[in-house]
């Protein structure tokens, strides 16, 4: 769980995000993001460097999951609070 001050939002910036092998349904591995009941996202397999995710609240839940021992790669994400 990431959080920042009230009236702020969180910006995630992708440095590296690559989960292999390719799985368009995110069944093997993925990254689940949720900042409110209205804003949910599941990212899997590959995101371009520079991709950003802006929360709609001051709290963001992040859950990395892996259901297979053959997942390779990984992710590197930085975040900051924005007013």
pLDDT greater than 90 at residue 51: no
- Determine how β-strand 2-3 pairs with β-strand 59-66: antiparallel
pTM: 0.75
The single residue listed with the structure tokens 């409110």 is 36
**Structure token digits, residue 45:** 């397999």
CATH number of the domain to which 10 belongs: 2.60.120.290
Range of the domain at 18: 2-82
Task: Label residue 82 by pLDDT band (50, 70, 90).
Answer: very high
Dump pLDDT digits (tens) for 52-67: 889 999 999 988 888 7
Taking only the tens place, the pLDDT of each residue in 5-48 is 999 999 999 898 877 666 777 787 788 888 887 778 887 766 77
**In this predicted structure, what is the pLDDT of residue 8?**
95
Beta bridge mates, 80: 11
Domain count of the fold of the chain: 1
CA angle 60, 61, 62 (to 5 degrees): 115
Q: Output the CA torsion 41→45→51→56 (10° steps).
A: 10
């Amino acid at each position: 769980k990431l959080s920042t001050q009230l009236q702020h939002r969180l910006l995630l910036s992708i440095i590296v995000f690559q989960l292999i092998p390719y799985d368009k349904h995110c069944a093997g591995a993925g990254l689940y993001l949720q900042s409110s009941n209205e804003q949910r996202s599941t990212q899997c397999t590959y995101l371009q460097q520079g991709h950003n995710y802006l929360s709609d609240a001051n709290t963001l839940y992040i859950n990395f999951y892996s259901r297979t021992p053959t997942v390779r790669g990984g992710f590197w994400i930085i975040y900051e609070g924005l007013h």
